[in-house]
Every structure is written in structure tokens, then in C-alpha cells.
Amino acid sequence: LHHNAVLAMPWSLCLLWASCVLAVPLSNPKPKLLLISFDGFRWNYDQDVDTPNLDQMAQDGVKAQYVTPPYISITSPAHFTLLTGRYVENHGVIHNMWFNTTSGMKKPYYQTQHVNEWWDNGTVPIWITAQRQGLKAGSVHFPGTASSYQGEVAMKQEVEPPHYNYKNETAWQENSDKVMSWFRDEDLDFVSLYFGEPDVTGHKYGPDSPQRRETVKQVDRAVGYIRHSAERHGLTDRLNIIITADHGMSTVLRKGQVEEIILSKIPGFSFKDLSFHLVDYGPSGMLLPKPGKLEKVYNALKGAHPHLHVYKKEEMPERLHFSKNDRILPIVLFADLGYLINGYFPVQINKGEHGFDNQEMDMKPFFRAVGPAFQKNLEVGPFETVNIYPLMCHILGIQPEVNDGHLNATRHLLVTSQTRSGELT
């Protein structure tokens, strides 16, 4: 009897130990998070198109009425806000274009992706924060992916080649499956995935065009594909998916409809008084007057056109959070909805544009979220996209960097569950 009791003892301990070990992953699988951006997907793009997959995602998860992007409502600045939870003046990626006021050089969007110091200037994206705290992160085509931050990069990263076709649906599916295999086969915890549509189509044809509606159908198919891919890869019980965008889109008003804003035609204004300017880039612009010319330039432009807003950078409205950065030039211009800022003469041909005041409804993107961390069949009111970062950090169980967002703005989206550290939320 004594001998049997001794033999039985370790076996029962083994069972106890095994049940403890097995219970952890079964009851609380490590949460994973996929952040997806469909560039330029306006908050109401699903209202004039049949979108069964987005509708299903809203039933299975959370839908916000809309979200508010930062100003300036263009691609790189708004995406870096998603990745850092900081307003544009604080993260410093103030434009899609890198520029040098001394040489007068400007680089377009794609080339700017590869200018490291434009992105790496004190604020680190969530990939780096996650990796520093023991997680694995990756990114596909997301703005900022091509850069390193304090010498660190996302563990898995793919940067799109130049002249990339952002509309190729087969590539969308391949990228979706690739990301799911990173989660499953390489145990990544966080991935950001970027699609360049419906922005390209919205620019070319306008937000009210049949072409834009067709592209929204393609986005909806992609959402269905992504969710099925997660299921195929056995990730449904642990993968949280957030889908949003950087900004919306608005129809451009042209000559014949309106009096266009053409700076060269404004009395008292001269480009000779500037040492550098960034105009002809949608509804926003920045000017660097020559020494002693600031008041002259400012006074000539202020009130010169009823739809042109002119500010000294330190007098920019506080709500825009677009003044406290050395990269922002001394005079900031932005136009009312539908108007563009032209320099010498109109050169822009887009039928749709963004970059307007982020209070404009046309600038608001959409937001959907689904997964074990999120409530089901919940529609919530609007919040700022700066708040998505602390939400993502919370889901991943990581300590956020200093940021301008608040978890309280999104906490009601979540179910009461356990985070990685085991604390009740």
C-alpha cells in the first residue's frame, strides 16, 4: 500500500501540473491584432453600395458612426497618427512630401517613404514598442514601413515597389493570406496591412462616381476574404481585426462652378517674397517668406479669397494641433471644402481631394472592429483616430509610449476580458 501510494503521488501531481499548463492557452489564448487601412475610405461609402461583408463584420463586432482623422488629413501624417497615437505636430510627419527649404527640393509620396529622418524623429510606431516588450510585429505596405526607428524595424516588413498597382485584387488576397501565415506560422502578435484604395479611384473619378462605388465593392470582397482567411488559418478565436482609414474624400469644385483660388492673381502677393512654398497639393499649403517679408505676405493673402484660410503658424486653431513643430512653415493655408490652392495657375486634375479641415464630414473615415476583445453588434458614436493607438496597446497588453489618445474614448468597444498580464479590464 505504501509503495502504491508513493507511485500514485507523482502521477496525480503530473495531472495537476498538466491541467494547469494546458488551461492557460485554452482559456486565454494570446491575443493577436491586425490593423488594416483602406486609404481614403470615407465614413459613408457603404451607404450607396451593397456591402454584405462589412455589414456582417458590424454584426459580429463594432462599428463606429465615423472617426475623425488628424489635420492634416493626408496619407502619411494621418497613418503615422494611427501608429503612434500622436497629433501631427507632435509626431512630425507633417506632409506626404519631404522638402528642404534651403535647396528647394521636394520629394513625392513614394520617395518620401524612404527618407529615414522624415519618419524617425523621436516618435516610434507601435511595431517598435511591441517588439521592445517581447512581441513580434510586421507590416505590409503601411506608410512608415520603409523607415527604421532608432535603428529598429518591424520584424517582418514589405514595402511596395515603385509604380505599384494598388488596385490589383489578386495581390490583395495574396497579401491577406501572407499576413495570416505570419500570425499562424511565425507567431506574430501585431501586423499592419495597407491598401491604397479607394483613395486612388476617389481622386481620379471623384467620391460620387460609379467607379468609386465599384471599388467599394472590391473593398467589401476583400473584407470577406480577410475574415475567411483568418478562419482558414485557425485564428478566429484569438485574432482581433481593426479596419479604418486615414481620411475621407470630397468632390473638387472647378472653374465655371466657382472662383478658384490662384495665389498669383491675388493683389499684393508675389512668389518673389517667398524663399520656399508648398502649394498645388490639394487644399492645403505652406509658405516660407523671405526675411522681413512675413507681414507683407500674410496681409496680402489674409481675406483675399472668401474660401481661403490664412494663418501664421502659431495662430493656427488649437483644435487642429498643427503649429508646434519646426517643420511647419511660418504661414499655413487651407481652403474650404471643394476648393484647391493653386500657385501660378491651376495644374491639379483630380476630381476628388482630401486634406481639408478635419471637422468636415467628407474628411471622416470609417471604423470597424471584430474579434474576441470586441463587443458584438455594437454601434458607437465618433471618436478621434488618435485614440486607436492606446486601444491597440491595451489589446496587446503593452505599455504605450507617450501619446495624445485616451483609452477611455474606446474602452466601451471592448468586452470585459483578461489582458495578457491576466489583469481584469
pLDDT per residue as tens digits for the range 163-200: 999 999 999 999 999 999 999 999 999 999 999 999 99
Q: Could you tell me the pLDDT band of residue 420, with boundaries at 50, 70 and 90? A: very low
| Residue among 79, 109, 91 at smallest CA distance from 282 | 109
Numbered ranges of CATH 3.40.720.10 in the chain: 29-251+358-413
> Is residue 421 classed exposed, middle or buried when 0-12, 13-18 and 19+ CB atoms within 10 A define those classes?
exposed
CA distances from 311 to 205, 270, 286, 318, 331 (A): 31, 17, 10, 12, 6
Q: Would the pLDDT of 143 be above 90?
A: yes
Q: Would the pLDDT of 25 be above 60?
A: no
Q: Would the pLDDT of 28 be above 80?
A: no
Q: Could you tell me the pLDDT band of residue 323, with boundaries at 50, 70 and 90? A: very high
CA distance 370 to 364: 20
Q: Would the pLDDT of 18 be above 60?
A: no
From the options 1.10.3720.10, 3.10.180.10, 3.40.190.100, 3.40.720.10, give the CATH code of 29-251+358-413: 3.40.720.10
Q: Could you tell me the pLDDT band of residue 257, with boundaries at 50, 70 and 90? A: confident
Q: Would the pLDDT of 334 be above 50?
A: yes
355-400 confidence digits (pLDDT tens): 999 999 999 999 999 999 999 999 999 999 999 999 999 999 999 9
CATH of domain 261-349: 3.30.1360.180
Is the distance from CB of 137 to CB of 153 less than 8 angstroms? no
Q: Would the pLDDT of 81 be above 60?
A: yes
Q: Would the pLDDT of 142 be above 60?
A: yes
Q: Would the pLDDT of 276 be above 90?
A: yes
CA distance 316 to 295: 16
Numbered ranges of CATH 3.30.1360.180 in the chain: 261-349
For the chain, report the end-to-end CA distance as a whole number of angstroms: 49
What pLDDT is recorded for position 42? 98
Stretch among 27-31, 78-82, 195-199, 341-345 having the lowest mean pLDDT: 27-31
Q: Could you tell me the pLDDT band of residue 82, with boundaries at 50, 70 and 90? A: very high
Q: Would the pLDDT of 27 be above 80?
A: no
HSE, side-chain direction, 13 A CA sphere, residue 329:
25
Q: Would the pLDDT of 2 be above 90?
A: no
Q: Could you tell me the pLDDT band of residue 8, with boundaries at 50, 70 and 90? A: very low
| Residue among 172, 224, 165 at smallest CA distance from 200 | 165
More confident residue, 6 or 182: 182
Average of pLDDT values for 302-306?
Answer: 97
Q: Would the pLDDT of 422 be above 70?
A: no
Where in the sequence numbering do the catalytic residues fall?
Answer: 75
Region of residue 157 (phi > 0: left; psi between -120 and 50: alpha; otherwise: beta): beta
What pLDDT is recorded for position 256? 83
Q: Would the pLDDT of 110 be above 60?
A: yes
Average of pLDDT values for 80-90?
Answer: 98
> Is residue 117 classed exposed, middle or buried when 0-12, 13-18 and 19+ CB atoms within 10 A define those classes?
exposed
pTM for the model: 0.92
Compute the C-alpha angle 114/328/92, nearest 5°.
Answer: 45
201-245 confidence digits (pLDDT tens): 999 999 999 999 999 999 999 999 999 999 999 999 999 999 999
What pLDDT is recorded for position 416? 79
